[in-house]
Amino acid sequence: MGEPFNPLQNSVTWIADTGLFIACGRQQNNKYTALERFAQRNDLTFVIPQRVYDELGGAPRRSTPGQTPINSAIDAGWVTVADEPDYTNGTVSQVMDDVRSY
């Protein structure tokens, strides 16, 4: 048996989808504040794919930069946008092929 799962260990990456941030709402919402406080207290950063950032209003053509909750979270350092996957990497390519087969 290995070590029990510790969600706050350094090797864990917290990947978030659109639903998490939609459920939390704007900065004034208690859920948003609680999520921000959780991230800051545990010194963690949520990683979001570019498509999630775009869905949350981060695309410049759809909103004024800096006025969306996701931009505030990024500016505060508890959310970051992931780099695009490198599809020339064999592992990435294999995972994408496997996902598409479902």
Q: State mean pLDDT over 57-78.
A: 73
> How many domains would you assign to the chain?
1
* 3 state DSSP class of 46: strand
Please provide the DSSP assignment of 12-43 as one string. --EE--HHHHHHH-STTSHHHHHHHHHHHHTT
User: Angle at which helices 69-76 and 30-41 pack, to 10 degrees?
Assistant: 20
Structural domain contains residue 2? no
Q: Which of 45, 39, 35 is nearest to 79 (CA)?
A: 45
- What domain range is 63 assigned to? 14-100
Structural domain contains residue 74? yes
pLDDT more than 90, % of the chain: 31
Q: What is the pLDDT of residue 8?
A: 63
Structural domain contains residue 36? yes
Structural domain contains residue 64? yes
DSSP for residue 26: S
Structural domain contains residue 7? no
Structural domain contains residue 55? yes
Q: Which of 64, 16, 54, 56 is nearest to 36 (CA)?
A: 16
33, 24 in Cβ contact below 8 A? Answer: no
**Tens digit of each residue's pLDDT (9 = 90 or more) over 24-67:** 888 888 999 999 999 999 888 999 999 999 988 855 555 455 56
Evaluate if residue 100 carries a pLDDT over 80: yes
Least confident of 7-21, 31-45, 65-79: 7-21
Query: Mean pLDDT, the chain, as a whole number?
Result: 82
Structural domain contains residue 9? no
Structural domain contains residue 93? yes
Q: What is the pLDDT of residue 76?
A: 93
Evaluate if residue 82 carries a pLDDT over 60: yes
